[in-house]
Amino acid sequence: MGEPHGIGIVGLGVISAQYLATLGDHPGVRIVAVADLDAARARAVADTIHGCRALSVDELVQDPDVQTVLNLTIPAAHAEIALAALDHGRNVFGEKPLAPTLPVAREIIAASSASAWAGCAPDTVLGTGIQTARAAVDAGEIGRPVSAVATWVSPGHEAWHPNPDFYYREGGGPLLDMGPYYLTSLFHLLGPVTRVSGASARPRSVRTIASGPRAGEEIPVEVDTHVTGVLEHVGGAISTVTFSFDAAHTDAAPIEVHGETGTLSVPDPNHFTGEVRLRRPGDEEWRPVPTSAGYENGGRGIGLLDFVSGGSRSDASIALHVLEIMTSLLESARTGRRIELTTTAERPPLVPLIAERDWRMR
């Protein structure tokens, strides 16, 4: 197997625990260093990992034991950390979105090279839910895909997150926060997008934190919190999407894909697993599609494992394309124009069905 791949983690907030659960005891990687704005938090995490050191960000991106930087900072800092890592010859794998704006994201792509490359979440799309749905589409189970509908709504993350400010600043909002899960899934299912049309709204100018030590504190809203859009895929299919921090609940399927001879109900793309269901004309009910592809019982960090092994399924070019879809939806909402996209990405290979015991030991 060779020496484990050295990982340095920057940003030790809520999401880091899920990555540590996947990567902490994996034989293919070794977490050699961690960094956080809160130095005490970094030391506390380092103390739980054998051989791990708490460093500053500058020290971490230059450390010779770090081969890949796992960038778990808030969206506004994604680009700064990614560019620093690439500048020092380190690969970087980051949480979504790739960057808060498209020009900065292009800088990350331009800074990548054969010796230091960039990857990006979400990796939930590599789980059995989305990959089984993709396998069904590719196998012609619904005939030629015609359309898709994707819906994600909630009353807002301030209801549960103790420090939700960044969700309501540039780089946040329901589209840039949750959109990558759904739009990356639609990319895997239906391919790249050629043009988009969007509409958006910002019903409230402030939000009230509901939990934690700041409960009752009001925070400003600087981004649109309800976004809808139409995506035109290169193969001719049309997707309709809705992302909102202004709705209480929905009973709609997270994603439905409609074809000429059937419809797929696709599970929540924020999770790695879930039942894929198929219904054809004349069927009296939905029927489950047997699991046929994806990382079984995957966890956050699967994409990084695929990435450091040379896989292309989490390549930053996909995240760049998804970011342009999102920023173009917002531009279309502002201007009332239909926007032609300038980026594209290659649809990566389907993930074969990989048992949990196997990917945990690779």
The per-residue pLDDT for range 60-82, each reduced to its tens digit, is 999 999 999 999 998 889 999 99
Question: Model's pTM, two decimal places?
Answer: 0.95
Closest CA to 311 of 248, 359, 277, 244: 359
Residues 73 and 165 in one domain: no
The answer to the question of residue 47 being in a domain is: yes
The answer to the question of residue 356 being in a domain is: no
- 157 DSSP 8-state letter: G
Residues 22 and 128 in one domain: no
Closest CA to 167 of 214, 97, 232: 97
Residues 191 and 284 in one domain: yes
Domain count, the chain: 2
CB count, 10 Å around CB of 24? 16
Residue 230, beta-bridge partner list: 197, 240
Residues 148 and 234 in one domain: yes
Q: Which amino acid is at 14?
A: V
Residues 103 and 166 in one domain: no
* Interatomic CA distance for residues 76 and 83, integer angstroms: 13
Q: Which amino acid is at 129?
A: G
Question: Is it the case that residue 2 has pLDDT exceeding 80?
Answer: no
Q: What is the model's pLDDT at position 310? A: 87
CATH code at position 36? 3.40.50.720
**Alpha-carbon dihedral sign for residues 328, 332, 337, 338:** positive
The answer to the question of residue 310 being in a domain is: no
The answer to the question of residue 304 being in a domain is: no
Q: What is the pLDDT of residues 236-255, one digit of tens each?
A: 999 999 999 999 999 999 99
> What is the average per-residue pLDDT within 186-200?
98
The answer to the question of residue 96 being in a domain is: yes
Residues 224 and 86 in one domain: no
CATH code at position 136? 3.30.360.10
Q: What is the pLDDT of residues 111-150, one digit of tens each?
A: 998 889 999 999 999 999 999 999 999 999 999 999 999 9
The answer to the question of residue 303 being in a domain is: no
Domain that holds residue 176: 124-297+315-340
